[in-house]
A and B are shown apart, each in its own frame.
Chain A
């Protein structure tokens, strides 16, 4: 149980375009969803915390206008990278909190060319 489905797994986009990443909780209600970014050989860095029906809370240094998070329902949270640039290329992972632990999506490899 407690599965988070994340799509797409890989995406290549041109610089200046926007990309949307979806995370769905399949068998539980994710009132809180976390979004992480991971650069090569680095650990996961929390970007933002989204709560269903309210605005996301962004970590220091993360541009909220660039990384748009929508958590409109208890089973779906989306991250949109707007006007993507090569430096946004990274591995993005979402996580939902359930019971006392966390379950993670399979991640999205974003490459901006």
Chain B
């Protein structure tokens, strides 16, 4: 059974700092890995999706990497802004049957002005 772990559980950084969020998964036979942002009491916003054959994806100040062999993914946020404050979730897709997602517990990011 796939297990997804995110470290750290919470992170506080000053505005402008670059930061890295970590995600690890136990079963390397994934279909893809996706990073989401969740604001308090809200749904999920998709940030980046990395297919199993890809190594990284970039969107603006965000860069996500994937290393299937080590069971790891990272989300790099450059030049952090207070508006980046949210909980970031990573989710691995099993790729079997219904392609269901397994989520980590998330990293709560606070960017201090």
Contacts and interface: CB of A to CB of B under 8 A. Distances in A.
Nearest to A57: B98
Contacts of A105: 43
A107 B106 contact: no
A29 to B, nearest CB: 16
B38 to A, nearest CB: 9
Contacts of A102: 34, 46, 91, 93, 101
Instruction: Tell me whether chain A's interface is mostly helix, strand or loop, or mixed.
Output: strand
Nearest to A51: B98
B32 A109 contact: no
Contacts of A43: 89, 103-106
Contacts of A74: none
Nearest to B49: A101
B49 to A, nearest CB: 5
A46 B92 CA distance: 13
A34 B102 CA distance: 12
Contact of B98 (A6, A49, A109): A49
The 7 A-B pairs with the shortest beta carbon distances in the complex, nearest first, are A106-B43, A104-B44, A43-B103, A43-B105, A107-B43, A101-B49, A44-B103
Interface of B: 32, 34, 36, 41-46, 49, 51, 89, 91, 93, 98-106
15 contacts: A34-B101, A41-B105, A43-B103, A43-B104, A44-B89, A44-B91, A49-B100, A57-B98, A93-B43, A100-B32, A101-B32, A102-B34, A102-B101, A107-B42, A109-B41
